[in-house]
Amino acid sequence: MIMIFDLVIGYLFVKILITLKEFLIKNNKNILIKFRSFPLLIIIFILNIYFYMYLGSGGLLMKENVINFNLSFIIFILILRFLLTIISGTGSVTGGLVVPIMSIGYLIGQIICLISKNTLSLPIAYFQYYSLISAIMLFGIITKTPLTSSSLIFTTILRSSNYNLILSLKYSLLPIIIVFIAIYL
């Protein structure tokens, strides 16, 4: 289920990013588009006052466990981060999109885990690992780096030293690797 959501969000991210970048290049003569960074800076400054932990690179967000929050709030943060990451990716000088992309994937994993907790009564013991795997999968889908993402997933799982987690995730690794390779080709 995480893989499906990551595929859909990754596809939307890439398509919207490319479409928006082409639109901005095509209409660069427009004064609002040419100087779009100034109003965006003001908006980001105001949002950082109220949502500091949830914005920025996303490192603080991944350190915190957002399972205790409301599902609608996490979806709001996901949409906000998605849009802000796309906007920052359309600039002529982009850099540092790895952690924001991974934090979007982490939020997707948290949403899936919350839904699973509420509907299937699954314990929350492994939710952080599922969210990390979702973050790595989204990173691999967007950047088209299947081998790097696969090795990160294996490293994350094997560093846990929890055999129940390793056994529960071993059946999902082969489809993940197949999807990564299919996307790469």
Report pLDDT digits (tens) over 45-58: 888 787 777 776 66
Q: Let me know if 44 is exposed, middle or buried by CB neighbors in 10 A (0-12, 13-18, 19+).
A: middle
Residue 184's contacts (CB-CB under 8 Å, 6 or more residues apart) are 144, 145, 146
The answer, yes or no, to whether residue 185 has pLDDT greater than 60, is: no
Cα–Cα distance between 21 and 16 in angstroms, integer?
8
Rounded to 5 degrees, φ, ψ at 32 are: -70, -35
21 pLDDT more than 80 = yes
pLDDT for 165: 58
User: What is d(CA 174, CA 10) in angstroms, rounded to the nearest whole number?
Assistant: 19
Q: How many domains does the chain have?
A: 1
Highest mean pLDDT among 117-121, 148-152, 156-160: 117-121
Mean pLDDT score of the chain = 76
Helical H segments across the chain, by residue range: 2-26, 31-34, 37-50, 59-63, 71-89, 98-120, 127-143, 146-158, 163-184
* Cα separation, 72 vs 148, whole angstroms: 32
Lowest mean pLDDT among 62-76, 98-112, 164-178: 164-178
Is the distance from CB of 133 to CB of 117 less than 8 angstroms?
Answer: no
Q: Which tens digit of pLDDT belongs to each residue from 90-102?
A: 776 666 677 788 8
CB 175 within 8 A of CB 138: no
Identify the residue with better confidence: 167 or 23.
23
In this prediction, what percent of the chain has a pLDDT beyond 70?
Answer: 70
Banded pLDDT at 75 (limits 50, 70, 90): confident
Average pLDDT over every residue of 35-40: 78
Name the residue range of residue 168's domain: 2-184
The pLDDT of residue 110 is above 70:
yes
Q: How far is CA 101 from CA 67, 118, 178, in A?
A: 19, 26, 21
Question: What is this structure's pTM?
Answer: 0.76
State the pLDDT confidence band at 34, using cuts at 50, 70 and 90: confident
Cα 81 to Cα 85: distance, rounded to the nearest angstrom: 6
Tokens representing 154? 């294996």
Domain of 39, CATH number, reads 1.10.3080.10
| pLDDT of res. 166 | 57
